[in-house]
Each structure stands twice: as C-alpha cells, then as structure tokens.
C-alpha cells in the first residue's frame, strides 16, 4: 500500500509537472524557429479595411520581425510612399528571399474604405480560404479587417494586427481568450489608460479634448471608453468633437480634424490626439500649429513620430517594432504548430516617454525635471513629419 501511494504520488506529480510544463509552455515557450510547412513555404495573405499608415508600419515591423527570427532573409525594405500596402506587398512578393514564407502574390486584399466593398471582399477571402485553401495565414490589418475575418466562416489562422481595441471591437472575446481557435489579436488593454493617466499626471488638465469619428470604429480607435473610465477616476471633463474618418477623401478627414482642434483649443486645456485618417504627416504640422498657438498640451496616442512632428508628448516610441516583434513571434509559433487562438494576446508597450522641447517652450509648459531626465526620446525641435518605422 505504501508503495502504491508513493507511486501514485509520483505519477500525479509527474502528470502535474507535465501538465504544468504544458501549461507553462502554452503561450510563451513555443518555438519560433523557422520551420517549413511540410517542405513547403508557408503562404501568407493580407487584408485591410483600407489604407492606413499604421497598417503599413505594423506590417513592415512584422516582416522585419520575421527577418529577425530567421524566417525571411534580412533585406532592407525601401521607404514607402503614402499609407498603401499594395506596393509593399508587391515588393515583398518580388524581393523577399525565404525558404519558409511566401507572400502570396494575389493574396493582398483591401476594401479601400468602401463600405459597399467590405462585405464582398470578405466573402471573396473567405471563399478562397475555404475553397482554394492556398493561404496558410491571413494577416488582418485593422479593426475592420479583423471584424471581417474574426468568425467561424473559415478556419484559416488569422492574426489581427494594428487594432487599437480588439476586445471593444468584438474581434476577440477577451484578453485571455480570442473566442476562436484560428484568430488572435494583439491586445494591450491598458495601453490607452496608461497614456491618459500619465498625460493627466503630468499636465493636470481639467478638460480633455478628444477629436474622433463618432462611429463604432471611431470610438474604438479613440479609446473613448478608456478615457471615460479614467475621467471618472481623475475627475476631468471630456470635451468631444466629431471628425470624419475612414472615407476615401483624406482631405475631408484632415479638415475635419483641424476644425475640431480649433474648436477644442478654445474649450479645453489639453487634447488627446487619437489615431485617425485625418491625423497624418500632411495634417500634423497644421494641427501642431493650432495647438501650440493656443498653448494646448497634446498627447499623441499613436507614436513618437508625431511628437517629433510637434505634439508635446507620447509614451510610445517605435511601437511598430515591438508590435512587429510580437506579431512575428506569434506567426512563428503558429507556423510551429501552435493554435493561434491559444497564443498569448496581451502585449504591452513599454512605457517610454517622448517629448518635444520646442513645443513645450511654445506653450510655456515646464516639464518636470524627472520627465526631462528620464524621457526616452527628447526632440529639441519640431520637424517635418515623415513616415517612420
């Protein structure tokens, strides 16, 4: 009896350990080493709701991540024009050398922000995934694309990149569980909360202006729910201004953002600059001019690139790199046999403060010495914005 008990204990322990290791090995410890797909290359497809710079940058960072982890031979990707990804795709198709990965030539899909096309494109993709079965992994760029492919109409592994709030958008169920075995979306559930908190701690505003498109997507991009949550916590007022977003005519989007900035400059003591089509390298100089003249501190939701262009601060720098790295690892793990829906979705941006001193002087804002000393990146001047990776 004693012996049986002992053995049982060991077995249980062993099983426990196995399971533990299995459990432990669930999301983080899977291999990311390049593997072929049964001697074939893994075929990757791409779908975006429309052109957006973040999609381009995230995708490029993902490709670079794959390079880092050996799935693609390192190669310099040329600077891209505009916000498009089709030209990038074509270049990748033509130039990338890899034994393991193939960017399928005709597997780049975009709905061009045309609501009437989205359904049709999604249907086309799903049909292809189900019938042709010539794509091993879909990269869904953005919330629109994520919504389109996050369903059980197909079963092709899909990684949703560059979606600001996949949980809020209904792409995934939660941070822990995407809800689909074949779908994963990177979530950083507290990312915007962190931003707002830090912004408030530094500035101490009483009225925060937010310009965003009053659509489900727009509210998601602007993390309105997070802002509202933090506003109750800190006791500040949200002043909203609605813009045009996700439409073909970018100029209209840009003008709508400018108008909102003018309006918010008179009503608020800080503006949270959210990601949208109207905030782009073309419009940022005017936006910066508006807020600096009104001596309004700004926080860029998107990136330090915008801080370099003149917004006062941000806490993300080169987000794309980290995200790309995460996406590349996720893809690698998937190609190594992991069920993508079971992989880790949460990936937090490191807190790295970026500030623009010229803007600080213009608005007579005195950064705390701690912030000055510990800023990850300090831009001393306002520079012309460019597409940065």
Nearer to another protein, 30 or 355 (CB): 355
Closest by alpha carbon to 340, among 349, 327, 321, 353? 327
Closest distance to another protein from the beta carbon of 309 (Å)? 19
* Min separation Cβ 268 and another protein, Å: 7
Residue 276 CB, nearest approach to another protein (Å): 24
The Cβ of residue 37 has, within 10 Å, a number of other Cβ atoms equal to 14
Contact 349, 319 (CB under 8 A): yes
Q: How far is the CB of 377 from another protein (least distance, A)?
A: 9
Other residues' Cβ atoms within 10 Å of the Cβ of residue 94: 9
| Identity of the residue, 175 or 357, whose beta carbon is nearer to another protein in the bound complex | 357
Shortest separation between residue 333's beta carbon and another protein, angstroms: 19
Q: What are the tokens at 318?
A: 């080169």
Q: Which is nearer to another protein, 203 or 257 (CB)?
A: 203
Nearer to another protein, 242 or 376 (CB): 376
Task: Report the distance separating Cα 303 and Cα 40, nearest Å.
Answer: 38
96 vs 360, beta carbon nearer another protein? 360
Nearer to another protein, 226 or 325 (CB): 325
Q: How far is the CB of 360 from another protein (least distance, A)?
A: 7
Which residue, 47 or 311, is less far from another protein as judged by CB?
A: 311
Burial of 197 (0-12, 13-18, 19+ CB in 10 A): middle
Q: Which of 320, 239, 294 is nearest to 55 (CA)?
A: 320
How many angstroms separate the CA atoms of 333 and 343, rounded? 8
φ, ψ (nearest 5 deg) of residue 325: -65, -45
CA-based angle 196:172:142, to the nearest 5?
A: 65
The distance of closest approach from Cβ of residue 357 to another protein in the complex, given in angstroms and rounded to an integer, is 5
Q: How far is CA 276 from CA 5, 208, 221, 302, 350, in A?
A: 64, 18, 7, 9, 22
Residues engaged in binding another protein (CB under 8 A): 203-204, 206-207, 267-269, 294-295, 297, 321-322, 325, 350-352, 357, 360-361, 363-367, 369-370, 372-376, 378, 380
Structure tokens at 264: 């918010």
């Amino acid at each position: 009896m004693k012996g049986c008990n002992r053995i049982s204990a060991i077995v249980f322990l062993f099983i426990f350990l196995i399971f533990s290791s299995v459990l432990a090995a669930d999301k983080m410890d899977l291999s990311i080493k390049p593997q072929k797909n049964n001697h074939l290359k893994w075929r990757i497809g791409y779908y975006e709701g429309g052109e957006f710079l973040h999609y381009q940058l995230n995708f490029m960072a993902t490709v670079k991540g794959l390079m880092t982890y050996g799935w693609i031979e390192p190669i310099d990707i040329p600077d891209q024009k505009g916000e498009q990804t089709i030209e990038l795709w074509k270049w990748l198709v033509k130039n990338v050398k890899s034994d393991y990965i193939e960017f399928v030539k005709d597997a780049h899909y975009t709905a061009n922000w045309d609501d009437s096309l989205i359904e049709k494109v999604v249907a086309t993709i799903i049909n292809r995934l189900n019938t042709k079965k010539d794509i091993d992994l879909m990269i869904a760029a953005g919330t629109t694309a994520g919504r389109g492919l996050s369903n059980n109409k197909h079963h092709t592994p899909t990684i949703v990149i560059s979606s600001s709030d996949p949980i809020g958008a209904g792409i995934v169920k939660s941070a822990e569980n995407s809800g689909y075995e074949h779908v994963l979306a990177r979530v950083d559930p507290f990312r915007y909360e962190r931003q707002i908190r830090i912004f408030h701690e530094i500035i101490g505003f009483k009225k925060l202006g937010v310009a965003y498109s009053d659509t489900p997507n727009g509210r998601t991009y602007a993390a309105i729910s997070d802002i509202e949550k933090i506003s109750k916590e800190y006791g500040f007022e949200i002043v909203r201004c609605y813009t045009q977003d996700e439409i073909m005519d970018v100029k209209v989007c840009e003008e709508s953002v400018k108008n909102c900035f003018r309006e918010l400059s008179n009503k608020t003591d800080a503006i949270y600059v959210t990601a949208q089509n109207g905030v782009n390298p073309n419009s940022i100089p005017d936006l910066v001019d508006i807020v600096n003249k009104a001596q309004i501190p700004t926080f860029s939701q998107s990136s330090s690139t915008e801080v370099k262009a003149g917004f006062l601060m941000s806490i993300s720098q080169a987000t794309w790199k980290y995200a790309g790295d995460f996406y590349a690892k996720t893809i690698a793990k998937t190609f190594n046999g992991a069920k993508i829906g079971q992989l880790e979705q949460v990936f937090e941006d490191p807190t790295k403060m970026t500030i623009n001193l010229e803007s600080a002087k213009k608005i007579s804002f005195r950064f705390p010495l701690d912030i000055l000393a510990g800023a990850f990146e300090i831009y001393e001047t306002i520079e012309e914005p460019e597409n940065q990776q």
